[in-house]
């Protein structure tokens, strides 16, 4: 009886996973056949449906949560009741003087329902780099995309001060892997708000997604400083996204994959929130617990956001609509928590699980967006990410074939 070696089993793992996720047609398709697959109805669980679900849900979550960002859950209730739809908002002018360099300025502008904010601009820049490369990217690829696509006169609308710092450092020639040492607001979630495309291009390969995220995240933050776990959280979200796209993924497997990327201290903090979620009978019970736990602390700490996002994802049983609504109304950095909860839920359940009215709103809004770095719709972004994922699958298949050709068979 023949036995496969451990090496053969390892190298075949990605091929099996990716082929199962996208269907047999993807495994044997030519480029033209892959393109034609976009026009077919996407059954629940197919790879494209789930990449599209991740992209659309992340966009929706970011826009819906932007309205409630910075408010306590009590303030959200008093002002809105329950936020369960995409709302417009008007941003005011503000200026923050800086000791060195230009002041940080935000310009007054109107944001219609479906418009996103700075974090999702970084998501779009990461997607642009992947689509240009046609597959996995390096930090140098990402830096070139920033330099090529960011228009400096648009700072202060969607892209914010922290993005201006990154852009200016890249423009003067600082190596991209050094930029994070000097970027604004270390230890915050901003690093992770660009990272779900890395999970999508590495579908079914959480370890690879985490490694890529740790490298790419250095454009915004650093690793190793006490209390700063931004890059580890970045890796956790990328890995969880890649896991959520596996055909056999579950809510628990997605959460476990995220936790596996965290050192003991932040892992305990995230597990505390997950423990609350497991005991709670209603998602609203989470709100005072998170409020008390993080009272007096800055709202955008990466570990808090991951904890809240995963807790909402868990309480919603991975359903995108509920995950987004819970996170949007949880309080504090709601757009980031919703990005985590909603994006993972969209990847797990697929585009058909997301309210189509929400999807249509964000799809229509972006094509005329005067401030964004990219006017690609969520579907167009998903199509490009799908192609890039399939390109990576073919590379792996070729490598498997070559390895197998050099392996002897054991009886």
Residue 110's CATH number = 1.10.4080.10
pLDDT band per the 50, 70, 90 thresholds, residue 33: very low
**What pLDDT, in 10s, does the model give residues 93-131?**
999 999 888 889 999 999 999 999 999 999 999 999 999
CA distances in angstroms from 274 to 35, 233, 283, 402, listed in the order given: 40, 15, 12, 44
Specify the residue for token string 């997301």.
Answer: 354
Domain hosting residue 301, numbered range: 6-405
In a domain, 298, yes or no: yes
Q: How far apart are alpha carbons 151 and 153 in whole angstroms?
A: 6
Residue 23 in this model has a pLDDT that exceeds 60? no
Q: Among residues of the chain, what percentage have pLDDT more than 70?
A: 88
In a domain, 270, yes or no: yes
In a domain, 410, yes or no: no
Q: Among residues of the chain, what percentage have pLDDT more than 90?
A: 84
What is the pLDDT averaged over residues 310-339?
A: 98
What is the pLDDT averaged over residues 232-259?
A: 98
Residue 35 in this model has a pLDDT that exceeds 50? no
Residue 200: which of 394, 393, 408 has the closest Cα? Answer: 393
What is the pLDDT averaged over residues 265-289?
A: 98
In a domain, 273, yes or no: yes
In a domain, 1, yes or no: no
pLDDT band per the 50, 70, 90 thresholds, residue 241: very high
In a domain, 411, yes or no: no
Residue 43 in this model has a pLDDT that exceeds 70? no
**What pLDDT, in 10s, does the model give residues 258-271?**
999 999 999 999 99
CA distances in angstroms from 219 to 142, 164, 191, listed in the order given: 9, 12, 8
Any idea what DSSP says for residue 96?
E
In a domain, 313, yes or no: yes
What is the pLDDT averaged over residues 136-165?
A: 97
Across the strands, what pairs with 111? 89
Query: 3-38: string of b/e by CB count within 10 Å (b at 16+)?
Result: eeeeeeeebbebbebbbbbbbeebbebeeeebeebe
Residue 191 in this model has a pLDDT that exceeds 90? no
CA distances in angstroms from 234 to 39, 219, 266, 398, listed in the order given: 33, 12, 13, 30
Domains identified in the chain, total number = 1
Any idea what DSSP says for residue 407?
P
């Amino acid at each position: 009886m023949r036995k496969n070696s451990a090496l053969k089993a390892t190298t075949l793992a990605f091929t099996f996973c990716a082929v199962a996720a996208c269907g047999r047609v993807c495994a044997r398709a030519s480029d033209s056949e892959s393109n034609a697959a976009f026009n077919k109805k996407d059954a629940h669980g197919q790879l494209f449906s789930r990449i599209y679900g991740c992209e659309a849900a992340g966009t929706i979550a970011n826009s819906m949560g932007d309205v409630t960002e910075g408010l306590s859950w009590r303030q959200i209730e008093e002002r809105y009741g329950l936020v369960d739809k995409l709302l417009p908002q008007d941003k005011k002018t503000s200026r923050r003087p800086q000791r060195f360099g230009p002041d940080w300025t935000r310009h007054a502008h109107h944001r219609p329902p479906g418009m996103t904010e700075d974090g999702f601009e970084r998501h779009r820049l990461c997607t642009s780099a992947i689509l240009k490369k046609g597959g996995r990217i390096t930090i140098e690829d990402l830096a070139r995309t920033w330099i090529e696509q960011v228009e400096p006169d648009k700072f202060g609308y969607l892209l914010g001060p922290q993005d201006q710092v990154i852009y200016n450092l890249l423009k003067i020639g600082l190596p991209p892997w050094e930029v994070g040492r000097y970027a604004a607001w270390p230890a915050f979630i901003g690093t992770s708000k660009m990272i779900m495309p890395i999970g999508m291009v590495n579908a079914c390969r959480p370890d690879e997604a985490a490694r890529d995220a740790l490298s790419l995240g250095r454009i915004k933050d650093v690793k190793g400083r006490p209390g700063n776990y931004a890059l580890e959280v970045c890796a956790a979200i990328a890995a969880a996204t890649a896991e959520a796209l596996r055909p056999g993924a579950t809510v628990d497997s997605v959460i476990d994959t995220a936790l596996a990327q965290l050192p003991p201290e932040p892992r305990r903090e995230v597990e505390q929130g997950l423990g609350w979620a497991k005991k709670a009978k209603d998602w609203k019970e989470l709100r005072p617990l998170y409020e008390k736990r993080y009272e007096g602390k800055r709202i955008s700490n990466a570990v808090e956001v991951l904890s809240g996002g995963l807790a909402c994802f868990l309480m919603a049983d991975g359903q995108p609509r509920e995950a987004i609504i819970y996170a949007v109304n949880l309080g504090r950095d709601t757009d980031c928590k919703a990005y985590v909860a909603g994006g993972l839920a969209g990847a797990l359940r697929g585009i058909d699980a997301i309210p189509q009215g929400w999807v249509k709103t964000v799809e229509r809004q972006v094509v005329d967006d005067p401030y964004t770095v990219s006017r690609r719709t969520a579907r167009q972004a998903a199509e490009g990410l799908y192609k890039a994922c399939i390109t990576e699958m073919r590379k792996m298949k070729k490598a498997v074939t070559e390895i197998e050709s050099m392996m002897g068979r054991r009886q």
